[in-house]
């Protein structure tokens, strides 16, 4: 690989643009193909297929052997609420490979001192999503316990097709939430997609343990029904 | 504007940082797997001229051998293809104890 290709590839990855690193296994030459740029024949079909499926592999084309390394955007985790659980969840999720951001309009909570090195948006969820829209590569965990912050975020996540949507709160709290969201016009199937009470049932007690339970559930969603659905079955 | 967050444990970001710091770098990539392989196709291990490394191409079974090959790749400036598997008892030391087989492409990062 050459320096320019590595820089281009890393830039695409930072900017959440899908890209394929194409390496000629005989000559060693490599180049980056960004999604939307159609490569010349005979590589067009293999590259498009790789981008669709998200699967890397070797291909034979035009009598040569190539390795296609697909880089799809890393899954993003949007946490609504700069709360105690989020302080544990953000670094854990980052280590697990998630692009993490925290949204909380309450500036007393969303302070850089409490979240060193984490992308923090001290605005209402709707404003945050205008700046960086939710997508199918995104998981959303609503942790504020405050309907006026959580509800619009949950609605937006369900509408955007986020691969995971979870909300903190007891069964009783969630029953009320379901009532509110249904009343606001969301369909039963959409509302049923919300994981609540949030997190895998591991008996988590402390904020850090709850963060583990949430992260495990997000990973389960990603690996069981997540991005692979975009392409052919795994 | 939001601050850019540094990705932890990201081999390709590490490779770029090492390159910017003037270090010689080799990039190892899993290009093919057969049977039970611990790391998927596309996984990276990056190695610098002093044998420092980041990432993985297996569960730790063959990294040592790849790091050793990387030194030659950096010295020669040419890529090479490595293959690891479990053929017999003697191969176990530098093979995959899980029983799979992998092909690893090791290339120099050219300036």
Neighbours of A170 (CB within 10 A): 10
Listed residues A47, A71, A95: the one ending a domain:
A71
Give the Cα-Cα-Cα angle A179, A122, A99 (nearest 5 degrees): 85
Give the Cα-Cα-Cα angle A181, A183, A187 (nearest 5 degrees): 65
Position A123 in a domain: yes
What are the tokens at A149? 């912050």
Listed in sequence order, the residues at least 6 apart from A142 whose beta carbon sits closer than 8 Å to its beta carbon are A80, A81, A149, A150, A153, A154, A165, A166, A167, A168
Give, to the nearest 10 degrees, the angle between helix B11-20 and helix A3-14: 130
Eight-class DSSP state of A72: P
Q: In B7-105, which ranges are continuous DSSP H helix?
A: 11-20, 63-76
Position A233 in a domain: no
List, in sequence order, every residue forming a beta bridge with B82; answer none if it has no partner.
B104
Listed residues A50, A71, A92: the one ending a domain:
A71
Name the residue among A219, A96, A77 with its Cα closest to residue B9. A96
Task: Look at residue A226 in the predicted model and tell me its pLDDT.
Answer: 39
Q: Same domain, yes or no, for A201 and A224?
A: yes
Q: What Rg value do the Cα atoms of chain A yield, rounded?
A: 20
Structural domains of chain A, count:
2
Average the pLDDT over A31-52 and give the result. 86
* CB-based contact, A107 to chain B, within 8 Å: no
Name the residue among A161, A79, A73 with its Cα closest to residue A121. A79
Distance from the Cα of A211 to chain B's closest Cα (Å) equals 19
Task: Look at residue B95 in the predicted model and tell me its pLDDT.
Answer: 59
B3 pLDDT higher than 70: no
Average of per-residue pLDDT values in chain A: 91
Q: Same domain, yes or no, for A91 and A122?
A: yes
Name the residue among A66, A155, A173, A234 with its Cα closest to residue B40. A234
Q: Same domain, yes or no, for A41 and A119?
A: no
Establish how many alpha carbons lie within 13 A of residue A232's alpha carbon, considering only the half-sphere containing its beta carbon. 4
Q: Same domain, yes or no, for A134 and A120?
A: yes
B1 pLDDT higher than 70: no
A111-159 residue pLDDT tens: 999 999 999 999 999 999 999 899 888 999 999 999 999 999 999 999 9
Q: Same domain, yes or no, for A67 and A94?
A: no
Position B5 in a domain: no
Element (H or E) spanning A14, and its range? Answer: helix A3-14
Position A86 in a domain: yes
Structural domains of chain B, count:
1
Q: Which domain holds residue B44?
A: 23-108
* CB-based contact, A16 to chain B, within 8 Å: no
* CB-based contact, A180 to chain B, within 8 Å: no
* CB-based contact, A23 to chain B, within 8 Å: yes
For tokens 């281009």, name the residue. Answer: A8
Establish how many alpha carbons lie within 13 A of residue B101's alpha carbon, considering only the half-sphere containing its beta carbon. 7
Eight-class DSSP state of A216: H
Q: Same domain, yes or no, for A169 and A103?
A: yes
Would you put residue A127 in left (φ > 0), alpha (ψ -120 to 50) or beta?
alpha
Q: Do B16 and A13 touch (CB under 8 A)?
A: no
Q: Same domain, yes or no, for A59 and A87?
A: no
A234 pLDDT higher than 80: no
Q: Which domain holds residue A185?
A: 76-228
A48 pLDDT higher than 90: no
B101 pLDDT higher than 80: yes
Average the pLDDT over B46-73 and give the result. 93
For chain B, report the end-to-end CA distance as a whole number of angstroms: 31
Position A234 in a domain: no
Distance from the Cα of A104 to chain B's closest Cα (Å) equals 15
Give me the residue from B3, B31, B109 closest to A58, CB to CB: B31
B6-22 residue pLDDT tens: 455 789 999 999 999 99
Using CA atoms, how far apart are residues A142 and A121, in angstroms rounded to an integer? 14
Nearest CA in chain A to B5: A117
Distance from the Cα of A82 to chain B's closest Cα (Å) equals 16
Contact list in B for residue A32 (CB cut-off 8 A) is none
Task: Look at residue B93 in the predicted model and tell me its pLDDT.
Answer: 54
B2 pLDDT higher than 80: no
A84 pLDDT higher than 80: yes
Ordered DSSP codes for B52-63: -EEE-SSSSSSH
A61-73 residue pLDDT tens: 889 999 999 998 8
A167-216 residue pLDDT tens: 999 999 999 999 999 999 999 999 999 999 999 999 999 999 999 999 99
Contact list in A for residue B7 (CB cut-off 8 A) is 94
A228 pLDDT higher than 70: no
> Above pLDDT 70, what percent of chain B?
80
Listed in sequence order, the residues at least 6 apart from B91 whose beta carbon sits closer than 8 Å to its beta carbon are B85
Position B7 in a domain: no
DSSP three-state, residue B13: helix
For residue A123, the domain's CATH number is: 3.40.50.720
């Amino acid at each position: 690989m050459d320096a320019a290709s590595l820089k281009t590839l890393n830039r695409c990855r930072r900017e959440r643009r899908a890209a394929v690193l194409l390496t000629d296994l005989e000559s060693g030459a490599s180049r980056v193909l960004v999604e939307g740029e159609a490569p010349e024949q005979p590589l067009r079909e293999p590259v498009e297929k790789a981008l669709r499926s998200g699967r890397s592999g070797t291909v034979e084309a035009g009598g040569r052997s190539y390795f296609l390394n697909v880089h799809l955007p890393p899954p993003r985790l949007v946490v609504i609420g700069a709360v105690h659980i989020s302080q544990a969840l953000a670094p854990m999720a980052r280590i697990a490979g998630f692009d993490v951001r925290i949204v909380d309009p309450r500036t007393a909570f969303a302070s850089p001192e409490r979240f060193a090195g984490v992308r923090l948006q001290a605005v209402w969820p709707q404003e945050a999503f205008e700046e960086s829209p939710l997508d199918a590569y995104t998981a959303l965990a609503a942790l504020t316990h405050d309907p006026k912050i959580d509800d619009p975020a949950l609605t937006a996540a369900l509408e955007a097709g986020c691969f995971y949507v979870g909300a903190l709160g007891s069964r009783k709290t969630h029953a009320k939430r379901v009532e509110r969201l249904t009343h606001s016009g969301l369909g039963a199937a959409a509302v049923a997609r919300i994981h609540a009470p949030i997190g895998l049932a591991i008996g988590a007690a402390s904020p850090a343990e709850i963060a583990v339970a949430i992260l495990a559930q997000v990973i389960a969603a990603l690996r069981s029904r997540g991005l692979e659905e975009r392409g052919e079955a795994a | 504007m939001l601050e850019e967050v540094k990705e932890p444990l990201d081999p390709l970001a590490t490779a770029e940082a090492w390159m910017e710091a003037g270090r010689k770098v080799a990039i190892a990539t899993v290009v093919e797997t057969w049977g039970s392989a611990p790391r998927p196709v596309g996984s990276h291990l990056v190695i610098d001229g002093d044998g420092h490394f980041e990432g993985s191409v297996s569960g730790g079974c063959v990294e040592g051998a790849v790091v050793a090959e990387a030194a030659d790749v950096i010295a020669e400036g040419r890529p090479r293809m490595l293959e690891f598997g479990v053929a017999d008892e003697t191969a176990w030391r530098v093979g995959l104890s899980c029983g799979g087989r992998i092909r690893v492409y090791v290339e120099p990062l050219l300036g």
